[in-house]
Structure 1
Amino acid sequence: DRLIITTSRYKDRWKIEWLIYKIQSVRSEVQELRAIIIINSLITDEKYQYTIF
């Protein structure tokens, strides 16, 4: 179960972080389920990738 979100606009980061927070709060009941956020910040094009497991 994997969700990958990629955005290149810095100002959209807070929306995605809020979405990740909501997903984590829903999944917090399940102890075995982990949420791993991988942020790739490239200086050249400012792409941010969020991977939720």
Structure 2
Amino acid sequence: MRKYRTQIRIPGDLADWIKERACEEHRSMNAQIVHYLETQRQQEQKNEEAGTKK
């Protein structure tokens, strides 16, 4: 799997929320963001397979 390094700017309150969730789930902020993105992608794929669009 190829990995890309990127920087993003997010609002402070959103960063705090991600940091809290990452701590609760024993992940880094980066791993938490990747988890959220993968979860969203899986949900979208399920919706496409079911013939629904968001």
Give TM-score scaled by structure 1 length. Answer: 0.40
Larger Rg: 2
Bigger relative contact order, structure 1 or 2 (CA pairs below 8 A, ≥6 apart): 1
Give TM-score scaled by structure 2 length. Answer: 0.39
Q: Judging by fraction of residues, say which structure has more helix.
A: 2
